[in-house]
């Protein structure tokens, strides 16, 4: 393998870093971190592919925590958008892998913009055209998962203010069909809340949409 060095973005339990590595070092790093995924220009590649791959010096290379499990040839595969601090990629996963993803600590899975649990997934009929998003990159850094925010809630009973963490806000919005979330007067999709910085927000509101109502 060549000794040419590449810029590699690495996301793991300690956070996010950018380092220079040779192809051999990329292979070694991936083998050391069992279950890691390697993306070259947003394409998931196997470690053994890297050894003989022609990689451009300006290629975007990322190493990130993988999602355990594997699909047999007979299992139906679903297209899943994976977003983390290093960027965005698209992979194919089986139902079993999706369940494992939802079971992983710190990993959120959305089906058609609704956050679902592993228990729900096991009995859920996922349509082929459904939009699936996994967010396993919520590791390291200054997390606001434990910070409580004042959330204004409007429903048929009137108006109230409650203290909620980001996971609680996402859970509430995901499980209350027809609910709209506004952050500083900007409507935010439930699936985008995970990567939305709420610590700098001045006003967070939950309200019923034009159809349906809040829980």
Q: Is residue 31 part of a domain?
A: yes
Q: Is residue 71 part of a domain?
A: no
> Do 119 and 126 touch, CB atoms closer than 8 A?
no
What pLDDT is recorded for position 104? 61
What residues contact 158, with CB distance under 8 A and at least 6 apart? none
Instruction: Tell whether 126 and 167 lie within a shared domain.
Output: no
Q: Please give the residue that has the higher pLDDT: either 59 or 100.
A: 59
Return the SS3 of 86. coil
What are the tens digits of pLDDT across the range 107-145? 778 888 787 877 788 888 898 888 888 875 444 333 455
Tell me whether strands 77-84 and 87-94 are parallel, antiparallel or unpaired. Answer: antiparallel
Q: Is residue 17 part of a domain?
A: yes
Instruction: Tell whether 50 and 82 lie within a shared domain.
Output: no
pLDDT at 211 over 60: no
* Structural domains counted in the chain: 3
Q: Which domain holds residue 87?
A: 77-135
Q: Is residue 56 part of a domain?
A: yes
8-to-22, 56, 123, 196 alpha-carbon distances in Å = 9, 12, 39, 25
Q: Is residue 141 part of a domain?
A: no
Q: In the sheet where 158-164 sits, what is the strand order?
A: 158-164, 149-155, 204-208, 179-183, 186-187
Q: Is residue 72 part of a domain?
A: no
> Do 147 and 165 touch, CB atoms closer than 8 A?
yes
What is the pTM (predicted TM-score) of this model? 0.40
Instruction: Tell whether 85 and 44 lie within a shared domain.
Output: no
pLDDT mean over 182-191: 88
pLDDT mean over 168-184: 84
Q: Is residue 140 part of a domain?
A: no
């Amino acid at each position: 393998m060549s000794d040419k060095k590449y810029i590699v973005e690495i996301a793991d339990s300690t956070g996010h870093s950018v380092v220079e590595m040779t192809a051999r070092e990329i292979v070694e790093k991936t083998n050391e971190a069992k279950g890691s995924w390697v993306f070259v220009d947003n394409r998931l590649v196997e470690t053994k592919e890297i050894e003989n791959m022609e990689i451009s010096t300006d290629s975007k290379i990322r190493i990130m925590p993988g999602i355990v499990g594997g699909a047999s040839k007979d299992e139906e595969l679903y297209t899943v958008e994976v977003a983390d601090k290093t960027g965005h990629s698209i992979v194919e996963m089986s139902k079993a892998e999706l369940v494992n993803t939802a079971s992983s600590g710190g990993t959120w899975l959305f089906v058609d913009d609704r956050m679902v649990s592993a228990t729900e997934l096991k009995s859920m009929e996922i349509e082929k055209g459904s939009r699936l998003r996994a967010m396993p990159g919520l590791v390291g850094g200054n997390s606001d998962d434990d910070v409580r925010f004042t959330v204004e809630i409007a429903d048929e009973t009137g108006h109230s203010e409650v203290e909620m963490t980001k996971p609680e806000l996402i859970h509430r919005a995901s499980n209350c069909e027809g609910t709209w979330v506004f952050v500083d007067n900007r409507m935010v999709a439930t699936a985008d809340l995970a990567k939305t910085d709420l610590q700098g927000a001045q006003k967070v509101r939950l309200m019923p949409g034009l159809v349906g109502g809040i829980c």
